[in-house]
A and B are shown apart, each in its own frame.
Chain A
Amino acid sequence: MEFEEYVSARGQELVRLGFTVSGDYQRAEDLAQIALMQAFRSWRKVRNADDPHHYVRRILVNEYLSMTRRRSFTEAPTADLDPQRTVPDHATRVANSDDLWRALATLSARERVVLVLRYYQDLDDQTIADMLGIKPSSVRATASRALASLRRRPAYSGAGESNRVDERLS
């Protein structure tokens, strides 16, 4: 598979993954671009990996975790900015209207990444552990802690009015 073919087939998935872990559309594009840049630079190695997409996802989530550890992160070199391209209000509006989505923003970066990999990417704990370079027991502990934290939110402890988009629309 050539690099262009891979980006064409899976690039948008990377942006989505970036959005679910970061909650920021612009950062999601940056993350996807950084992951793709790194993959492009060693594409022969990536292409020969058992699962190239897994390899690139791993770059992306670890880049995000590195990014959050920096006091102020610097953006990677990008193509020239296109003034016609703007941050979509729609995505942010939809996501922010969801209590659970907002609750996710209160978690630590690693907690959120673990939940994304588990419940959005449907990866098992062993695979997540390999991806993050931690032990499966740490993945379980992190996920458990994150879920407990989410359950303590008013909307999920039975207190307060639900603000979930789907419930308000129904």
Chain B
Amino acid sequence: MSNTDLEDDLRGTFERAAASVPQAVDLTERATTGARRAQRRTWVVSGAAAVAVAAIAVAGFGLAGSRNQPTQPPVATGQAAASASATPQGVSAQTVAGTWRPVQMVGAKTLQAARPDDPVLVFKADGTWTGSDGCNGLQGTYSIGQRGAFSATSGPQHLVGCENVPHTGVLHAAKRIAVSADTLQFFGADGRQLASYARAR
């Protein structure tokens, strides 16, 4: 058989086979329905992927931020502008142990005023703290978790009125803590700095 004969046979065979195919029904509807379903599935998958990427980015940002040791305490003028991204890693009861003097505190404008007592905070390595608001003795406990997570409780105290330094308010509101050289910073739940202290010599 020549090539031409075979090619003619192929044409005939294909034509007969094609002609034997019955009319397909609902092709338009099936194609559009299938495409829309596939598109919906793509959106769902894309949405899930976007959420996953965002979660990874947030987690990564948090980890990256936690590695950044603050080299300088924030400038304490007016509203505190520093954020918790400056929180260092490796904060522990040992690193905060010592006596700290307030340098800046949100809402407190008279930190340098004369008071009966020295308004300091004293952290002990055993998880307790003591101090003075300038007029009354203070005490309580504290804990430091991973990446500087911080919480504190306070015990009963006298309420002698003076230019009280609101250490207790800072300790209760603080969710994160950072220690760098001789600076101690407290940050609120929104990441903004609540107060900074300098280590007393």
- Report A-chain residues with C-beta under 8 Å of the C-beta of B20: 88, 90-91, 94-95
- Report B-chain residues with C-beta under 8 Å of the C-beta of A39: 31
- Report A-chain residues with C-beta under 8 Å of the C-beta of B31: 3, 7, 33, 36-37, 39-40
Q: Are B24 and A98 in contact (CB under 8 A)?
A: no
Would you give the shortest CB distance from A58 to chain B, in whole angstroms? 16
Q: Interface residue count for B (Cβ, 8 Å)?
A: 35
* Other-chain residue from B9, B16, B26, B28 in contact with A95 (beta carbon distance below 8 A): B16
A95 to B23, CA, bound (A): 16
A164 to B17, CA, bound (A): 13
**Minimum CB distance partner of B13 in chain A:** A100
Would you give the shortest CB distance from B198 to chain A, in whole angstroms? 64
A4 to B14, CA, bound (A): 27
Contacting B at CB under 8 A, from A117-137, are 119-120
Q: Interface residue count for A (Cβ, 8 Å)?
A: 53
* Other-chain residue from B9, B11, B32 in contact with A40 (beta carbon distance below 8 A): B32
| Interface check B25, CB cutoff 8 A | yes
A85 to B38, CA, bound (A): 23
**Minimum CB distance partner of B25 in chain A:** A85
A11 to B21, CA, bound (A): 12
- Report A-chain residues with C-beta under 8 Å of the C-beta of B34: 33-34, 37, 76-79
Q: Are A33 and B30 in contact (CB under 8 A)?
A: yes
Contacting B at CB under 8 A, from A66-122, are 76-79, 82, 85, 88, 90-91, 94-95, 98, 100-101, 104, 115-116, 119-120
Closest 5 CB pairs of A and B: A36-B31, A120-B14, A16-B18, A91-B20, A11-B27
A36-B28, A40-B35, A100-B9 given; 13 more Cβ-contact pairs under 8 Å: A3-B28, A3-B31, A12-B24, A20-B17, A29-B24, A33-B30, A88-B22, A91-B21, A95-B20, A116-B14, A119-B7, A157-B1, A158-B1
